Amino acid sequence: MAKDLAIILSNGSLESCVAASLAAQKYRTVMMNVITGAGNGAGARTAYDQQVAHFKPYREHTLNMAFFAAIGKDTAAGLSDPRVNSGVGEKLLDLVPIVAVAARFAAHYQAAAVYLGLRVGPGMDELAQASEFVSIWNEMLQMPCRQGELEILTPLLELEEWQVVEVGFQVSAPMEKSWSCSEDSAEPCGTCRGCRQREAAFVQAGRPDPRTPPADSRSRGR
């Protein structure tokens, strides 16, 4: 078992970025980006590439799971993508093939852990469902799959969005290299659901969003 390696499932999101930073404190990383449809988003992909450049992982893999497009899935919703407004059950269902592939790569590398940026918040019912999902995956890896030392880890699972921001600052996560916008533009639109949630999270945490330039610099650029 290569106890110093961990697989990081990342879709370029804020949660993925913070989860990768937590993993990098303990492990050398193997980063994975799963393309689940034709429109995963240029902004999200750029953010992922920037995170790869920042973390300098031991290995990096991009996997195409185009079959998601047949069922109308363009994003890995289970990785806490704020653009996707769906119940936790649907998010967990989307994660099944993605976690399976990540676990197989972990076995190949003899890695110690697979990190997910999955976040459902402190709501009792959804948190219970997500916790059971992670527990079942770990049981499958340890018993029938004989990967007893491999863990699926979700360090952000029960946090509020503003708490993810706070953790990000504590671990010096490169949050300026994360993407929350649903638009495929060079800069976040600032008006979509993902952008609004991100802004609210930084405001509630009392922290500046490192991706957003200060208001005075924006004014000077006009």
Looking at residue 89, what is its pLDDT?
Answer: 86
Hey, where are the domains in the chain? 2-212
Looking at residue 3, what is its pLDDT?
Answer: 74
Tokens for 189, please give them: 């639109």
Give the closest residue to 207 by CA, choosing from 172, 180, 157.
Answer: 172
Question: Would you place residue 67 in the very low, low, confident or very high pLDDT band (cuts 50, 70, 90)?
Answer: confident
Q: What is d(CA 221, CA 202) in angstroms, rounded to the nearest whole number?
A: 23
Write down the architecture of domain 2-212 according to CATH: 3-Layer(aba) Sandwich (3.40)
Residue 120 phi, psi dihedral angles, 5° rounding: -120, -15
Global pTM? 0.87
